[in-house]
């Protein structure tokens, strides 16, 4: 847990603790071939980053890839160049 101490104008300081698991994390995608999980990934991206145009979605989604999906994306980018 992370502890944050605050000092009030009057009285003793207070310590608030928050579990590390509650921190916002960007969604990641590992290449699973499941329409529901893929749809949820894109929905989470839009919810996390807000309204985006299609080009922004592609750029941000590319940073959220991991595993074999990241390897595929890099090879695809090299092929386009």
Q: CB neighbours (10 Å) of residue 64?
A: 19
Residue 55: partners with Cβ closer than 8 Å, 6 or more residues away = none
pLDDT, tens digit (0-9, with 9 covering 90-100), for 37-48: 989 988 888 888
Cα–Cα nearest to 59, from 78, 45, 72: 45
pLDDT at 9 over 80: no
| Separation CA 51–CA 45 (nearest Å) | 9
Q: What share of the chain has pLDDT > 90, as a percent?
A: 9
Is residue 21's pLDDT more than 70? no
55-67: pLDDT as tens digits = 888 888 888 888 9
Question: Which residues touch 77 (CB under 8 Å, ≥6 apart)?
Answer: none
C-alpha torsion sign, points 65, 60, 45, 19 = positive
């Amino acid at each position: 847990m992370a502890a944050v101490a605050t000092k009030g104008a009057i009285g003793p300081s207070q310590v608030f603790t928050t579990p590390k698991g509650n921190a916002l994390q960007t969604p990641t995608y590992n290449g699973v071939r499941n329409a529901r999980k893929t749809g949820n990934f894109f929905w989470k991206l839009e919810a996390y980053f807000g309204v985006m145009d299609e080009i922004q979605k592609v750029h941000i989604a590319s940073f959220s890839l991991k595993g074999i999906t990241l390897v595929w994306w890099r090879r695809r980018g090299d092929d386009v160049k």
